[in-house]
């Protein structure tokens, strides 16, 4: 009786150890896969991301109603804003059916109030942009205090640059988001967006 109970206990411990080892291996495998360039998408209908060269990630999806093939290129900054050390600023380039649609700058923090109305009355915020050795002021559309709509000229300058910095006004004052856009696969961007780099 005691021998039988001892054997059952040993078998149970062996099974528990095997399940634990398998769980550790699967978790390590998933972490390794993500480290190789894969990134989980925050959107339900979007495939998990893959490396698009350098620090860029490419996400793909399909519009359920129109069937449009959508591609999103995302680049996270090298630094955080002081309000939120858990959310890095990022830029996103959005394309559909091989054409450029838009690009957004998300500071990862609450934006300050807009500076002035645009031609159509839309709120705008002035930012300073550095692309490699040049810098200039831009007026970007202010969208609900969460992100700014970038102009296409800045996007074309950014994708061919080594340095891309944005000085933006947040609720706690001006801050700079620092990006390293070098290494982006420009052939992929041209294919997905018909977008090519252009020096400012």
pLDDT per residue over 16-52, tens digit each?
Answer: 444 344 343 343 344 444 444 468 877 767 889 999 9
Q: Does a structural domain hold residue 169?
A: yes
Location of structure tokens 């609450």: 110
Give me the number of domains the chain comprises: 2
Query: pTM of the predicted model, to two decimals?
Result: 0.79
Q: Does a structural domain hold residue 42?
A: no
Q: Does a structural domain hold residue 199?
A: no
Pair 63, 160 in one domain: yes
> For 158-196, how does the pLDDT look when each residue is reduced to its tens digit (9 = 90+)?
999 999 999 999 999 999 999 999 999 999 999 999 999
> How far, in Å, CA of 148 to CA of 171, rounded?
14
Pair 89, 176 in one domain: yes
> How far, in Å, CA of 179 to CA of 189, rounded?
18
pLDDT interval class at 9 (50, 70, 90): low
Pair 82, 179 in one domain: yes
Pair 136, 77 in one domain: yes
Task: Centre a 10 Å sphere on the Cβ of residue 181 and count the other Cβ atoms it contains.
Answer: 22
Q: Does a structural domain hold residue 82?
A: yes
């Amino acid at each position: 009786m005691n021998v039988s109970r001892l054997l059952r206990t040993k078998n149970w411990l062996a099974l528990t150890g095997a399940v634990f080892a398998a769980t550790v291996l699967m978790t390590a495998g998933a972490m390794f896969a993500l480290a190789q360039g894969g990134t989980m998408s925050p959107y339900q209908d979007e495939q998990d991301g893959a490396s698009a060269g350098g620090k860029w990630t490419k996400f793909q999806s399909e519009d359920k109603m129109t069937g449009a093939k959508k591609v999103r290129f995302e680049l996270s900054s090298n630094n955080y804003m002081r309000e939120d050390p858990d959310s890095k600023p990022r830029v996103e380039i959005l394309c559909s059916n091989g054409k450029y649609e838009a690009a957004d700058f998300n500071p990862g923090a609450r934006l300050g109030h807009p500076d002035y109305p645009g031609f159509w009355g839309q709120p705008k915020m002035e930012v300073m942009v550095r692309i490699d050795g040049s810098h200039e002021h831009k007026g970007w559309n202010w969208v609900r205090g969460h992100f700014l709509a970038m102009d296409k000229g800045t996007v074309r300058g950014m994708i061919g640059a080594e340095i891309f910095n944005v000085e933006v006004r947040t609720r706690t004052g001006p801050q700079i988001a620092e990006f390293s856009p070098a290494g982006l696969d420009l052939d992929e961007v041209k294919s997905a967006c018909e977008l090519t780099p252009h020096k400012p």
